Each structure stands twice: as C-alpha cells, then as structure tokens.
Structure 1
Amino acid sequence: MRPPKIPESVLVVIHTPALEVLLIERADAPGFWQSVTGSKDTLAESLVETCLREVAEETGILVGTPSIPLTALRDWGLANVYEIYPRWRHRYAPGVTHNTEHVFGLCVPAGTPVRLSPREHTAHAWLPWREAADRCFSPSNAEAVLQLPRLAGAEPLA
C-alpha cells in the first residue's frame, strides 16, 4: 500500500518564449487538461526538486540541460489553497481535504519534444496562452496561465 500523498504540490506552467503553453490530458479523467502538477514525494523534498521530478516524469523534459537550464524554471511566488476533489481524496491521509499548490513557470524552446507518461496522461497540446487557460479544468491552473504574460519575466531561481 502506498503512503498517503503530502498535501503540498507544485503547478508548473510550461511555456515557450512566444507564450504557447503545454497542456496534458489526464489518463484517469479524459477531457481534464492541465499543466504539470504533482505532490512532494517527501517532506524533505524541496519545491524545486518536486518541479524538476514532475516535469521529467510527466513530459520527459529535462531541466538543467544546455537547451533548458535551471534558470528557465521560475518561482512565480503564488500559492493556491484549494479543496481536493472528492474523487482524489482517497490518496491522502484521512481527514485531509485541502492542498497547497505552489506555482512555477518553465520557459522552454519552441519545438521542445514531449514524452508523456502513459499511465498519467494520454495527449498533449501546445496552445496560445488564452486558449490554454480556457481548456484547463482546474480554476487555479487557468488563473496561473492567465498570469503568464505578466509573470513570464519573473526572476529566475538560479
């Protein structure tokens, strides 16, 4: 049996310099499009480590390479506290109903290849930021994408 998920996660808005946004469709919820998201694996795992792990696991994009340096990952300084959807609460400890989601942006070159984890996602699309925001099933994800033009120039982490 897996240990309960930690109710602290990251949302990584992956985008190009032209503000095209990568969205991925959930395997367990067809029609639910989102940015990369995932919970910390351990309490000791940093939010940046969570971002790097989740981006690699969900998209195959490796940050810290010559084409995508660590400086391409930016902490947008936003945190959303939201109620965990009832359909996914069984993954958390009993009584846990809310999650804190930290928002990051990751700027990648246009044409960056995407390799999905088939057990997690079934399709991906690069969309102009406004269209991407409209397609996001999560209100906090849609709001983060709408902040992209303002936050894409935020200070890099490294």
Structure 2
Amino acid sequence: MNAFKIPESVLVVIHTPQLEVLLIERTDNPGFWQSVTGSRDTPDEPLLQTAMREVMEETGITADAGQFVDWAVSNIYEIYPAWRRRYAPGVTHNTEHVFSLCVPQGTSVRLSPREHTAWQWLPCLEAADLCFSPSNAEALLMLPKFIA
C-alpha cells in the first residue's frame, strides 16, 4: 500500500429496490453521513475492484462484480484541507467515480469501527439531504435515473 492516498476514488451508492439508501457516519467527523467511499489501493487497481473492496471493508456486504452498476460519472472535487495530509504534497483534488449496488431490503451491515460509527437506511431524497458531500448528495438524487 502507498504511503499516500491515491487521489482517485469510488463512491458507491448502496440501495434497495425500494430506493432506500444506506448511509454511514464517519468516525472522525460525527454528523458526517455518506455512502461508501474509498481510494484505489494502487494506481492500476480496477475501479470495480476498488468499489467491491470498499463495500466489503466498510459495510461487510459481499457482492459480485455483476451486481455493481458503473454510472460512468466522474466528479472532480477539492479535497478538504483537513484531509490533504493523507495525500502527496501538492495534491489538492480528487477524481471520484460513481457506482451503485442494489441489495435486498433488510441486508445486514457490519461497519468497520475505525471508519464508521453508525448506519441507517433512508429514502433516497431524505438521505441526499443528510449527506455532507455535495457529490454524494447529487448521486443520491440521480439514483432513480440510473436504476430505471
């Protein structure tokens, strides 16, 4: 694993067929709710592999590659100054690739306690209002379009 985070990541919107969305609360920022996110482990790690790994690490949900939907949407955003120390000097922006994963209603969640403290299932519009990340909120608002 690299000493610095790679500024290329995935955002995975986990949802049920009824459009309930899983949100998880960050350990390092109570009140910061989000979908699953995470950076590539290596520059050549396939983004789908990153998505599968992050979902498993953060939620305990195991899913096959065919269950993920690559939205072919990328967001470039400025990394919050408080988190820039995790990246190589001079890195200020991250490219985030959006995926979704549909799971059955009632899917159990097992959080990584070092990353997240709580989880909840919410209707997608309510979840979008709770997300701290603008790109995450936007993805939740776009969810109905991508599963139609």
Q: TM over 0.5: same fold?
A: yes
2:47 matched residue in structure 1: 47
Alignment counterpart, residue 125 of structure 2, candidates 86, 108, 130: 130
2:30 matched residue in structure 1: 30
Runs of 4 or more consecutive aligned structure 1 residues displaced over 6 Å after TM superposition: none
- The residue matched to 1:147 in structure 2 has which SS? helix
Counterpart Cα distance in 2 of 1:143 and 1:44: 27
1:102 matched residue in structure 2: 97
TM-score normalised by length of structure 2 = 0.98
Counterpart Cα distance in 1 of 2:5 and 2:138: 24
Percent identical pairs in the alignment equals 71
**Unmatched segments (≥5 aa) in structure 1:** 65-69, 154-158
Counterpart Cα distance in 1 of 2:144 and 2:94: 26
2:87 matched residue in structure 1: 92
Counterpart Cα distance in 1 of 2:147 and 2:9: 20
Counterpart Cα distance in 2 of 1:152 and 1:71: 14
Deviation at 1:152, TM superposition (A): 1.6
Counterpart Cα distance in 2 of 1:152 and 1:24: 21
1:83 matched residue in structure 2: 78
AA at the equivalent of 1:102: H
Deviation at 1:121, TM superposition (A): 0.1
**Unmatched segments (≥5 aa) in structure 2:** none
Deviation at 1:72, TM superposition (A): 1.9
Counterpart Cα distance in 1 of 2:134 and 2:91: 20
AA at the equivalent of 2:23: L
Residues 7-53 of structure 1 deviation map (CA, whole Å, 9 limit, x = unaligned)? 00000000000000000000000000000000000012100000000
Tell me the number of residue pairs that the alignment of Structure 1 and Structure 2 aligns: 148
Counterpart Cα distance in 2 of 1:33 and 1:114: 15
AA at the equivalent of 1:29: N
AA at the equivalent of 1:91: R
Deviation at 1:138, TM superposition (A): 0.2
Counterpart Cα distance in 2 of 1:95 and 1:21: 35
Counterpart Cα distance in 2 of 1:38 and 1:87: 17
AA at the equivalent of 1:128: P
TM-score normalised by length of structure 1 = 0.92
Counterpart Cα distance in 2 of 1:87 and 1:112: 33
Deviation at 1:71, TM superposition (A): 2.3
